[in-house]
Chain A
Amino acid sequence: MFRDASLMAGKDLRVELRSHVTTQQVAPFAILMLILFGVALDPDRGILTRASAGLFWVSVLFCSLLAIQRAFTIEAADGGRDALRLSGLDPAGIFLGKAAAIFVQLGALELVLAAGVVVMYGTEITGLPLLVATCLAATAGLAAAGTLYGVLAAGLRVRETLLPILLLPVLAPVLIGATRAFEAALGGAAADGWPWCGLLAAFALLYTAFGTLAFGPLLEES
């Protein structure tokens, strides 16, 4: 299973290295969103600094939609589903591999966004351990739930429009948890943020476990 997962993740990341979709399209989109928030919310009144945690995670959420769509566009091309079923790869391995690749790409995006928030919104980084732990837990949750719902929507004609309505309500707890944890860390009250981080970790574990089990039937029967 883990051999298959690393093979799959390696392949997805190699596709990304060759195609540069995340670096050349999703990352600029993320920065663009930060600029648009800045334009929409008056930058002089300190709203941006106060809301930076929320704006950061909303941006991550929208970027994750793009990353997930992309991860399954690769597979949808040219009969990929049959090929995957015939490949001999363990479905659980495919799930973990794809989720891992999305995790890595989202992690990179978060670094870019964090730099953008610090530079453009004047947010001061405090409580770094909590920030890092929150990022790891939240991103794992986004990647796991996203991969599960991504394969659900993959192969349907309306996948671009269906995925957001299926996935975003499910990810609402991640947005809430990650934003609260970030606010706690940035507000210097890290102790308040750790329970949220725990919630995020539980969410990630739940969806990883469920996805590992459900991916096989989904690949088989949809």
Chain B
Amino acid sequence: MEPVVQLHGAVTLLGRFPALAGIDLEVAAGEIVLLRGPNGAGKTTLLRLCAGLLPVARGQAVVLGHDLANRRQARSLRRRVGLLGHATGLYDELTVADNIHFWGRAAGASPTDIIAALTACGLDGRLAGLGVATLSAGQRRRTALACLLARRPELWLLDEPHGGLDQDGRDLLDDIVRQAVASGATVMLSSHELDRAAALAHRVVTIVGGTTDALDPLPTSEEPVLVP
């Protein structure tokens, strides 16, 4: 079966700055891949590239069969992926339920999927009627996660998903990710919670200086070790 993500020497520019300076990465269907590396290494850019939000300047990038060099294909890819970024894209003025309904319906999710996502993230009941502006950071993350879940993405791109979540929230996130993978989805995540993320991931890829090949990819390890 063809890999879900195929990157070969992928270069992505932010303005003139090559945030990604040659990424070689293949992710098979059903895999959970952890990206790690120092701040500014290019993890966020890599996830945004895989979401079809950024063009490739050089090299090859094919995600879910969409060639990212082609604008049109990159755009149609976006419906099939879910990106949980630093920013959540939620509307402060609306309630939790409103937000999930809006983003869910925008992606063409059915009402039952939307309700299911709400319940799965523990947002049914009182929380659903609260305005997003009144939520804590962790509750916002949960709401964003529910928006993602309602879309039923085939490729999950999670940028620091554990940040801001409490213990229950992290357990919930891990459960949701495992369930998604069990039902056929593929996951790429970046995290500084290396212990937790490494336990979740099948494989760890190290990114430094916008490249994957500068340091050898490590096998899953409990301790973060940097090997030149």
Chain A–chain B contact at Cβ < 8 A: yes
B105 — nearest CB in chain A belongs to which residue?
A7
Is the C-beta of A42 less than 8 angstroms from some C-beta in chain B? no
Is the C-beta of B79 less than 8 angstroms from some C-beta in chain A? yes
Decide if B103 touches A83 in the complex (CB within 8 Å). Answer: yes
Question: What chain B residues lie within 8 Å of A25 (beta carbons)?
Answer: none
Is the C-beta of B92 less than 8 angstroms from some C-beta in chain A? yes
A15 — nearest CB in chain B belongs to which residue?
B93
Between B85, B87, B89, the greatest number of chain A beta carbons within 10 A of the residue's beta carbon is seen for B89
| Contacts of A50-96 to chain B: CB distance below 8 A | 74, 77-80, 82-89
In the bound complex, what is the Cα–Cα distance between A220 and B82 (angstroms)? 18
Between A74, A85, A87, the greatest number of chain B beta carbons within 10 A of the residue's beta carbon is seen for A87
In the bound complex, what is the Cα–Cα distance between A51 and B195 (angstroms)? 72
Is the C-beta of B64 less than 8 angstroms from some C-beta in chain A? no
Decide yes or no: A77 and B92 within 8 Å by CB, A85-B53, A85-B78, A88-B79 being known contacts: yes
Decide if B106 touches A18 in the complex (CB within 8 Å). Answer: no
Question: What chain B residues lie within 8 Å of A86 (beta carbons)?
Answer: 51, 53, 78, 81-83, 89
Decide if A18 touches B131 in the complex (CB within 8 Å). Answer: yes
Is the C-beta of B128 less than 8 angstroms from some C-beta in chain A? no
Contact with B along A131-167 (1 / 0, CB 8 A): 0000000000000000000000000000000000000
Decide yes or no: A82 and B83 within 8 Å by CB, A7-B105, A87-B103 being known contacts: yes
Between A4, A79, A86, the greatest number of chain B beta carbons within 10 A of the residue's beta carbon is seen for A86
Decide if A79 touches B106 in the complex (CB within 8 Å). Answer: no
Decide if B78 touches A80 in the complex (CB within 8 Å). Answer: no
Q: Which 9 A-B pairs have CB atoms at the shortest separation, nearest pair first?
A: A79-B87, A83-B89, A87-B106, A88-B79, A88-B107, A15-B93, A19-B93, A18-B93, A78-B87
| Contacts of A77-124 to chain B: CB distance below 8 A | 77-80, 82-89
B103 — nearest CB in chain A belongs to which residue?
A87
**Chain A nearest Cβ from B63, distance in angstroms:** 13
**Size of interface on B: residues with Cβ below 8 Å to A:** 29
Decide if A79 touches B88 in the complex (CB within 8 Å). Answer: yes
10 sampled A-B residue pairs with Cβ under 8 A: A7-B106, A11-B102, A78-B89, A80-B91, A82-B83, A83-B103, A86-B78, A87-B103, A88-B108, A220-B71
Decide if B102 touches A7 in the complex (CB within 8 Å). Answer: yes
Question: What chain B residues lie within 8 Å of A78 (beta carbons)?
Answer: 87-90, 92
Question: What chain B residues lie within 8 Å of A7 (beta carbons)?
Answer: 102, 105-106
Question: What chain A residues lie within 8 Å of B67 (beta carbons)?
Answer: none
Question: What chain B residues lie within 8 Å of A79 (beta carbons)?
Answer: 85-89
**Chain A nearest Cβ from B204, distance in angstroms:** 26
Question: What chain B residues lie within 8 Å of A88 (beta carbons)?
Answer: 78-79, 106-108, 151
B98 — nearest CB in chain A belongs to which residue?
A14
Decide if A4 touches B87 in the complex (CB within 8 Å). Answer: no
**Chain A nearest Cβ from B79, distance in angstroms:** 4
| Contacts of A188-222 to chain B: CB distance below 8 A | 220
Decide if B81 touches A18 in the complex (CB within 8 Å). Answer: no
**Chain A nearest Cβ from B13, distance in angstroms:** 13
In the bound complex, what is the Cα–Cα distance between A147 and B17 (angstroms)? 31
In the bound complex, what is the Cα–Cα distance between A19 and B78 (angstroms)? 31
Q: Could you say which of B85, B91, B103 contacts A15, with CB atoms under 8 Å apart?
A: B91
In the bound complex, what is the Cα–Cα distance between A125 and B53 (angstroms)? 53
Decide yes or no: A82 and B106 within 8 Å by CB, A15-B93, A15-B94, A18-B93 being known contacts: no
B99 — nearest CB in chain A belongs to which residue?
A11
Q: Could you say which of A4, A14, A74, A80 contacts B106, with CB atoms under 8 Å apart?
A: A4
Question: What chain A residues lie within 8 Å of B51 (beta carbons)?
Answer: 86
A16 — nearest CB in chain B belongs to which residue?
B93
A75 — nearest CB in chain B belongs to which residue?
B91
